[in-house]
Chains A and B, each alone.
Chain A
Amino acid sequence: MEEIAFFAGAIGALGGAIAVIALRNPFYSVLALIVHLISLAGLFLILYAEFIAAAQIVVYAGAVMVLYLFVTAYVGGVEESIWEPIPGQRFLAPLLAAALFIELSIAVVGTALKAVESTGPTIPADFGSPGSIGELLLERFLVVFEAASMLLLIAAVGAIVLAGRKRERETVPARGAGR
């Protein structure tokens, strides 16, 4: 049963990932990424990470991807030019990616960690539940939690500065030029 669930999730995640880089239209790429994220949430559930899976679906596949969809719809379909600035990029890049995968696989399969080759130790019933994750976040990792909230605040302010319309600067020269 666990094998079926794993392979279903793995096929969904891998298919979504390949669709993201293969589809020409960015709008469809975003939709493929949503498929990928939901399959990944299923894999998290098999690994007893209930809270992470829920956060993945609600925050990531929900909120963040809606932001992506809005920006993609705002910018419109961007056609990628056929012209290749780096000769052979289309052949070299998959080769480099394959080399990266082989290297990582050698590192993972040839590791000396014995715990990796088992299904993992027996765990308490509330492993990965919102209660235990929250306890860890607010007790042991309180500084990390506060740093993450500061980071989110700074990112929000930065986004407003970057993308906000500067009305005064734009209108004043236009009027001067018109008269």
Chain B
Amino acid sequence: MDITWYLVLSALLFAVGAGGVLVRRSPLVILLCLELMLNAGNLALVAFARSSGNEEGQVFALVVMVVAACEVVIGLGLIVAMFRRRLALDVDEMRELRG
């Protein structure tokens, strides 16, 4: 299999994730779509690591996974805080910074 196949698949997954961020309004699902986009980037990194015969791309993919875990923790913390304050879980209704 050519590496191009993996890169095109990664572009397709990234586009699906971006479309999800634009279409959905629940912050939980938007976080999930962000995960999709980060994973598409990871697939491209691992595919490039294979095409250049060098493991450094895989280390980079690991770092992306760490960053994704941090983003999940902060994002879910924000969602729980919003839920506690009885705010609507809808990103279009959050128009002001004031809690």
Contacts and interface: CB of A to CB of B under 8 A. Distances in A.
B50 A67 contact: no
A104 B69 CA distance: 26
A141 B11 contact: no
Given A26-B29, A115-B52, A123-B53, A21 B59 contact: no
Interface residues of A, number: 85
Interface in B1-60: 1-9, 11-20, 22-26, 28-29, 31-33, 35-36, 39, 42-43, 46-47, 49-53, 55-56, 58-59
Given A14-B12, A40-B42, A163-B81, 19 more contacts: A13-B9, A21-B19, A30-B32, A33-B32, A40-B39, A46-B1, A60-B69, A71-B28, A71-B79, A75-B89, A85-B92, A100-B14, A115-B3, A117-B3, A123-B50, A127-B55, A128-B49, A140-B56, A163-B84
Interface of B: 1-9, 11-20, 22-26, 28-29, 31-33, 35-36, 39, 42-43, 46-47, 49-53, 55-56, 58-59, 61-63, 65-70, 72-74, 76-81, 83-84, 89-90, 92
Closest A-B pairs by Cβ, 4 of them:
A97-B19, A21-B20, A101-B15, A93-B22
